[in-house]
Amino acid sequence: MATEPADLTPALLGGVPLFDRTLYVGRPSMAPEAEVHARIQSALDRRWLTNDGPLVQELEHRCAERLQVPHCIAVANATLGLEVALRALGVQGEVLLPAFTFIGTAHAAQWLGLTPVFCDVRDADHGLDPAEVARRITPATGAILGVHLWGRACAVEALEDIARRHGIPLILDAAHAMGCGHAGRPLGSRGTVEVFSLHATKGLNSLEGGLVTTTDEALAQRIRLMRNFGIPDEDQVSCVGTNAKMNEFSAAVGLCNLDHFDDLCAHNHRLYEAYATALAGVPGLRLVAPAPGEAFSHHYIVLEVLPGAALDRDQLVRLLRAENVYARRYFRPGCHRGEPYRSRPGGPPSLPVTDRLSQTLLQLPSGRQLSPDEAQRLGQRLANWGRHGAEVAARLREAGAT
């Protein structure tokens, strides 16, 4: 493959931007509008807009089938899904979870009055390190909360084993994991309960939304009840609950996008291959690969800027933004460095892998907004900066643009 010449002037230094429109990480990929309109119209025609409507039920059935799990409960978003799951399990005290995740994971526990205890993650999968969990577990630990970051399975077997030995639940934040698998099965039936996000920025989106999945029937019933104020029927209230219901418009969008989801994953796979080809062997840059043999959606395309690279992660993000590529720096800072956690007595714990990853990872655009050819051009531009990093860094310094 031809590489770009070294003297291509970055848009940050006055060159022509690589794209004439902005590419975003998190740009929703949508089913054809006519399909979305038709399903939304069907809900309008029925005048059944929320409260366990037929589209929500259809979404639950289809996702349960897809995820090969007996119970799938649609919720308004994954944050509420995590909160309802923690509450339905009666979790109290401390929750062990990774610091390298979206802040919503930690806030779900904190919001319930639980105490998030941050652990470091593993280099191998960016997921909760079981050795850290074993070190930090105490009689005050009420639950373990793992995260399948980027959709790569965290160390589920080891975490399930620790949870079982201590008699506590394992909740798995599967917000990124639709379309991803582990050990020959889709994620969704591991641990005590798993929680997916269907937010607009996710691979499968229902505008806002989430799915709680479990093999435990009694737990599924409690979650359904708590999703609807603890009301089983019009004559009773059985327990405290909240409003975590998904509405019919969200379910309509989710169902339409589900019809096209496998095609979207295939498209994202082609984007990943195009980026990977362009970036192969480039010094200082490494595309994060899926675990060999595991199903993967490639919704998150993650680039690691290795120590010693001439251009650091933040410089690359600035260069990319001038090219109209709105790369993101998920997850920066680590949760332990966000409020209210960093102001806790003793300050943030030392979590070296989390701190390094939060300073060295960036995410590249995926989804229908760009073609594999465009991903290849973007990969080549990054490769050019990787190969000629020292020159570009010197030019940025001269221009006062560091």
Tell whether residue 106 is a contact of ligand T4K (CB under 6 A). no
* Residue 125 beta carbon to ligand T4K: minimum distance, rounded to whole angstroms: 14
**Site track for ligand T4K across 281-320, x = CB under 6 A:** ----------------------------------------
Of the candidate spans 56-64, 99-107, 258-266, 348-356, the one that interacts with ligand T4K by CB under 6 A turns out to be 99-107
**Site track for ligand T4K across 209-248, x = CB under 6 A:** -x--------------------------------------
Tell whether residue 276 is a contact of ligand T4K (CB under 6 A). no
- 38: closest CA among 266, 217, 252? 252
Tell whether residue 194 is a contact of ligand T4K (CB under 6 A). no
Site size for ligand T4K, by CB under 6 A? 23
Tell whether residue 85 is a contact of ligand T4K (CB under 6 A). no
Among 133, 175, 357, 375, binds ligand T4K (CB under 6 A): 175
DSSP 53: -
* Residue 176 beta carbon to ligand T4K: minimum distance, rounded to whole angstroms: 6
**Closer residue to ligand T4K (CB): 105 or 189:** 105
Residue 154 tokens read as: 């965290």
Number of neighbours of residue 321 by Cβ within 10 angstroms? 15
| Amino acid in position 234 | E
Tell whether residue 101 is a contact of ligand T4K (CB under 6 A). yes
Tell whether residue 144 is a contact of ligand T4K (CB under 6 A). no
Beta strands (DSSP E) in 226-370 are: 285-287, 301-305, 325-326, 361-364
- 193: closest CA among 81, 66, 112, 107? 81
Sheet holding 361-364: strands in order across?
Answer: 285-287, 301-305, 361-364
Residue 317 tokens read as: 């993000």
Tell whether residue 24 is a contact of ligand T4K (CB under 6 A). yes
Among all chains, which residue has been given the structure tokens 């989430």?
210
**Closer residue to ligand T4K (CB): 188 or 284:** 188
325, β-bridge pairs: 23
Cα 393 → chain centroid? 32
Q: How far apart are CA 227 and CA 81, in angstroms?
A: 8
Specify the long-range contacts of residues 285-292, CB closer than 8 Å, at least 24 apart.
285/309, 285/382, 285/383, 285/386, 288/126, 288/150, 288/361, 290/152, 291/125, 291/152, 291/153, 291/182
Among 104, 230, 232, 349, binds ligand T4K (CB under 6 A): 104
- Where does residue 120 rank: exposed (0-12), middle (13-18), buried (19+ CB within 10 A)? buried
Of the candidate spans 18-26, 37-45, 274-282, 370-378, the one that interacts with ligand T4K by CB under 6 A turns out to be 18-26
Of the candidate spans 30-38, 72-80, 83-91, 92-100, the one that interacts with ligand T4K by CB under 6 A turns out to be 72-80
* Residue 17 beta carbon to ligand T4K: minimum distance, rounded to whole angstroms: 17
Q: How far apart are CA 160 and CA 167, in angstroms?
A: 10
* Angle between helices 54-67 and 33-46 in degrees, nearest 10: 130
**Site track for ligand T4K across 322-341, x = CB under 6 A:** ----x---x-----------
* Residue 256 beta carbon to ligand T4K: minimum distance, rounded to whole angstroms: 16
- 378: closest CA among 390, 366, 388, 368? 366
For 120, 136, 166, the CA distances from 139, given in Å and listed in that order, are: 20, 10, 9
* Residue 108 beta carbon to ligand T4K: minimum distance, rounded to whole angstroms: 7
- Nearest residue to ligand T4K on Cβ basis: 26
* Residue 235 beta carbon to ligand T4K: minimum distance, rounded to whole angstroms: 32
Tell whether residue 36 is a contact of ligand T4K (CB under 6 A). no
**Closer residue to ligand T4K (CB): 18 or 207:** 207
Q: Which residues bind ligand T4K (CB under 6 A)?
A: 24-28, 77-79, 101-102, 104-105, 147, 173, 175-176, 197, 199-201, 210, 326, 330
